[in-house]
Structure 1
Amino acid sequence: MNRRFALLLAATFPLAACASSPAGLSVQQRTALASAIASPARTPANVARDRYRNPADTLAFFGVQPDDTVVEIWPGGGWYTEILAPYLASGGGTYVAAAPDWGRSGITKLRNSNAALFGAVRVADFPVFDGKPTEVPNGSADVVLTFRNVHNWRMGYRRPDKQDYSLEAFRQIHVMLKPGGVLGIVDHRLPESASAERERTSGYIKTSTVRRLAEQAGFRLEASSEINANPRDTADWPDGVWTLPPTLALKDKDRERYLAIGESDRMTLKFVKPR
């Protein structure tokens, strides 16, 4: 490893020792992850958000290895796809983007823009209802990841009746994971003292709620981390979490204030499907 890349690797993983459980990646795996994060193929706007999303520490905390089969639930525009797809390809792993038809445009755009990097990305429907079988084979995933999505399920996002389908989502995730497999969750954190009703409108969700849902579906909490914490976020903004960047729902109103606060305070939870 040359000196320049060694320095990059050290800078990319400054918080690994601060996580609540060991990162669990070898030096070679960390090098592959650092290489994927440093890739010039990443979208510049995505790179600018690394300081808020901490991809190196987050993926190391979840123990994502390059030969894993990883399912990312609702990858949106593909922020993590740009990192995970090449990282997994480097070790013979598999990346699956799981989302409804209306949530796949970002992945389609990535695949069309760079077939060499993203052509092998698999796509599956999630969640599935009305008795339909899941498109991710049962017991096939080593890791399932979802970033800032549990609050959407709790809010009944995209359902005309706004019915909460979070528990069903967790149950479907449980089925797709291998015994011993990991579920990694990052989401906007609502203070435990806040009214639970705010989970239905604010975009924030309590850590206790996420843990309850996961445990009801059969998961065990293995570790938590403050990797993605932001103590400046008080979670009581006029337009919910969307008041803060990157959305900035109030546009120019108090824009500098919200930019100074930064992106939301986020829980980072690692669950395991018992063997």
Structure 2
Amino acid sequence: MLGLSLAIAAPMAQAVKPADTATLPAPDAALQAAIDGKWRDPANTPRDAYRHPGQTLAFFGIKPDQTVVEITPGGGWYAEILAPYLREDGKYVAAIVDPAAYEAGRQRDYYQKGKDGLAKKFAGAAAQFDKAAVVAYDPKSPSFGAPGSADLVLTFRNVHNWRSAGQAEGMFKGFYDVLKPGGVLGVVEHRAKGDVPADDKSGYVGQDQVIALAKAAGFELAGSSEVNANPRDTKDHPNGVWTLPPSNNHPEADRAKYQAIGESDRMTLRFVKKAGQE
């Protein structure tokens, strides 16, 4: 997720308990062990209260023997959980933007910095990441692996960037192509109050708009969850989602106000590529 950060970590407000906790599948023991792993960055674990990794991944139907592609993993927040969980019997693939897809300049430098940072993270913890794979893709014609090679594709808080760049349709087609028939696409995204223009700068996207993108690529909606909902998020912040934690792009005087809201309200959607489709 792009955006400025003025953040210095502060105690987080109590997260909103998911409305559907009782009906959500629980993480299996191995997944919970990965979430509890001592290798995770101590700066990352407080966000579990907002990102609900165990219940979110269980809702997407993750299994330890799957091939899972995570799209633009950023600093590796979810990779710290996924790579160890999949290490023995499955495969974790980090799909990153290929810096070479851009001319020399600011964008290429940005993506190169992200690529180098993730490589450094993986190299520094072989016990967790030695079997992790990385695929670099061109956003103009994205390919995330051999067709029909993945069981699960995951994307967390990325759709707004693709829409603003005119890349969303191609990305969803790429997800569809890499998945096996019966494979699952799991999407978590900042949720707007309704439809927003493609060039909207708030970082929020309408839930119906995300569903339409997936359906246009051939997916069927298989389920939605409120596990990552936050009714305290009014979605009218001066710097969009980046006003809220963890970016905290706001005046220091407003810190208590935005800490009390917490992280953004998010949709959590599960799509499936129907069996028998190629």
Please give the range of the TM-score, normalised by the shorter of the 2 chains: 0.7 to 0.9
Determine the structure 2 residue equivalent to 1:216. 216
Residue 168 of structure 2 corresponds to residue 166 of structure 1: yes
Residues 120-144 of structure 1: per-residue CA shift (max 9 Å, x gap): 11111234436xx725111000000
**From 116, 128, 142, the counterpart of 1:117:** 128
CA contact (8 A) 1:227 1:268 kept: yes
- Kindly state the Cα deviation for residue 109 of structure 1 after the two structures are TM-superposed: 2.2
What is the deviation of 1:196? 1.8
- Matched-pair contact (CA < 8 Å) for 1:15–1:57: no
Kindly provide the CA deviation profile for residues 42-70 of structure 1, in whole angstroms up to 9, marking residues without a partner as x.
00111010000000000000010000000
Superposed, 1:185-196 pairs within 5 Å as: 185-192=187-194, 196=196
1:89 aligned partner:
87
The secondary structure found in structure 2 opposite 1:197 is coil
* CA contact 1:144–1:183 (8 Å) conserved in 2: yes
**Identical aligned residues as a percent:** 52
Q: How does 1:43-192 map to 2 (within 5 A)?
A: 43-90=41-88, 92-101=89-98, 102=111, 103-129=114-140, 134-156=143-165, 164-192=166-194
Aligned residue in 1 for 2:40: 42
Q: Distance in 1 between matches of 2:251 and 2:138?
A: 32
What is the CA distance between 1:250 and its match in structure 2? 1.3
Which residue is equivalent to 2:260?
A: 260
Residues 33-90 of structure 1, C-alpha deviations (whole Å, 9 max, x = no match): 1100011000011101000000000000001000000000010000000000001114
Structure 2 counterpart of 1:239: 239
CA RMSD of aligned residues (A): 1.9
**Aligned residue-pair number:** 244
> Aligned partner of 1:75: which letter?
P
Structure 1 residue 15: Cα displacement: 6.0
The 2-side partners of 1:241 and 1:129 are apart by 26
Q: Shift in Å at residue 14 of structure 1?
A: 11
Match of 2:31 in 1: 33
Instruction: Pick closer, same or farther for the CA change 1:105–1:187 going to 2, 3 Å.
Output: farther
List 4+ stretches of structure 1 deviating above 4 A.
Answer: 13-16
Q: Secondary structure at the match of 1:223?
A: strand
1:84 alignment partner AA: L
SS at match of 1:235: coil
TM-score by length of 2: 0.83
What amino acid is the match of 1:120?
K
Distance 1:255 1:89 in 2: 40
TM-score (norm 1): 0.84
Tell me the distance in 2 between the aligned counterparts of 1:201 and 1:143.
29
